[in-house]
Amino acid sequence: MTISSSLNAGVAGLNSNATKLATIADNIANSATYGYKRAQADFHSQVINGGAGVYSAGGVRTTTQRLIDERGPLISTSNSTDLAVNGRGMLPVTSAVSLQSTTSNFPMMLMTTGSFRPDADGILTTETGMVLMGWPANIDGTMPTYPRDTVAGLQPVRVNVNQFAGDPTTKMTLGVNLPATETRAGSSGATQDLSIEYFGNLGTSENLSVSFAPTVPATGASNTWTMTIKDGASGGATVGQYTLVFDATQANGGTLASVTKVTGSAGSAYNSTTGTVTLTLAGGPLDLTIGTIGDPSGMTQLSDSFAPVSIDKNGSPVGNLTSVEVDANGFVNAVYDIGFTRTIYQIPLVDVPNPNGLISLNNQAYQVSPESGSFFLWDAGDGPTGEVVGFSREESATDVAHELTQLIQTQRAYSSNAKVIQTVDEMLQETTNIKR
């Protein structure tokens, strides 16, 4: 009984060390595989109680696991959509095959790094068929609210390389100095005209005409102007008319004292908190900021010169998409050749309570399991998650020197177990020879 148990223990030792050798071979073979997570074999003793005075060898068994929570070093690349996660969290992906499904929900898999490039349909895909998933942004680049505990809102990230896009003007800041001499008695009362370009919803260049007509009093100075705004895209229609009164006191001389909308005219009332009026143009609303009351950086009336000091506006003409970049918060930004960028997707980071409990798949992909716990979609850099790093890949987590050391130890252990089997065989042979 004791001799037989020794034989069984030796065989168990051979099998266990063979299993450990398999994990070492796997680790060394993938030492240059991006995103590879090291496999590990652990030995556990088996105890068999043989009764009083009798010892029975139970042997050994092994368990294996993949250490998914271990991270390899990051290296830089030249591709903007080479992505890696610096810290906790994983990128949501799906298989390219699943895109052919008629359902809107795609099976979610996870990766810590990937080299994503547009395929024939513009979908960011790796060479192994892993498709990057993200939340689509609104047309204006803002992000709607998506559920965090389901994949229902995730869609394949699509980049149309030949895509054109316009950036309409929605905000404008007007800083103009009006001549104080024109509102005095006896002045010419000449109207001051200003033409401003803006961009419509279709990317067309449009014109906003702004005129300032002074109020000339019989005596003294009125310090009052009538600002009339006309939209060229609306056939020259007046879209706003306001009465501007400037302060003449020593403390606030030359700054706005009041802004009043002309009765019956278009445009919104003046917002004294923001110094803004809202105009309805042919392409939609435009917020025009002329300054708050008493603000020297807004509209002024000083000296005898008309000077457009500053005109700031957003918007740009139609541009062609030149590149796509992903920032640290996971926002996918489309960069156009005219200099503006727009957010088109947000890539959340997936986190689970036990990353090592994930199911390992081919191509360094993983899947949620009961052992890993349920997932949650975080904004990158929020909660426990790290940040998304573009132009980067994560190297293998394998330490080759450590694996070679383990290889030597495993080889010695395997040889020792083989020696036990050889010794048991010789002892059994001696037992057989007793009868002779």
pLDDT at 104 (0 to 100): 65
Cα distances (Å, whole numbers) of residue 385 to 43, 64, 85, 351, 355:
33, 27, 9, 7, 13
Contact 254, 180 (CB under 8 A): yes
Three-state SS for 94? strand
Q: Which of 26-35, 136-145, 364-373 has the lowest mean pLDDT?
A: 136-145
User: What does R_g of the chain's alpha carbons equal in angstroms?
Assistant: 37
Q: Per-residue pLDDT tens for 220-237?
A: 999 999 999 999 999 999
pLDDT of residue 341: 85
pLDDT, tens digit, 9 for 90 and up, residues 146-202? 999 999 899 999 987 556 667 789 999 999 999 999 999 999 999 999 999 998 888
Please report which confidence band the pLDDT of residue 77 belongs to, taking 50, 70 and 90 as the band edges.
very high
Q: What is the DSSP string of 248-281?
A: -STTTTTBEEEEEEPTT-SSPPPBTTTTEEEEEE
Whose CA is closest to 165, among 351, 34, 316?
316
Q: What pLDDT, on the 0 to 100 scale, is given for residue 367?
A: 96
Under 8 Å between Cβ of 96 and 125: yes
- The whole model's pTM is what? 0.72
pLDDT digits (tens, 9 = 90+) for 102-146: 666 788 999 999 999 999 889 999 999 999 999 999 887 889 999
Over 80: is that where the pLDDT of 426 sits? yes
pLDDT of residue 102: 61
CB 193 within 8 Å of CB 210: yes
The mean per-residue pLDDT over the stretch 314-338 comes to: 87
Confidence (pLDDT) at 348: 97
**Of 49 and 297, the one with more pLDDT:** 297
d(CA 160, CA 121): 8
Confidence band, pLDDT 50/70/90 cuts, at residue 58: confident
Residue 103's pLDDT is 64
Please spell the DSSP secondary structure of 314-330, one letter per residue.
--EEEEEEEEEEE-TT-
The number of CA neighbours under 13 Å toward the Cβ of 375 is 25
Q: What pLDDT, on a 0 to 100 scale, did the predictor assign at position 247?
A: 96
pLDDT at 101 over 80: no
Distance CA 17, CA 5 (A): 18
- Phi, psi (deg, nearest 5) at residue 315: 95, 160
CB 225 within 8 A of CB 178: yes
pLDDT digits (tens, 9 = 90+) for 204-218: 889 999 999 999 999
The band of 328, judged by pLDDT with boundaries at 50, 70 and 90, is very high
Position 47 confidence tier, pLDDT thresholds 50, 70, 90: confident
Quote the mean pLDDT of the chain: 91
Positive or negative torsion for Cα 6, 9, 13, 14: positive
Predicted confidence (pLDDT) at residue 51 exceeds the cutoff of 80: no
Specify the DSSP class assigned to residue 92. E
Q: Supply 239's token pair.
A: 């879209």
Closest among 108, 94, 134, 40 to 374, alpha carbons compared: 108
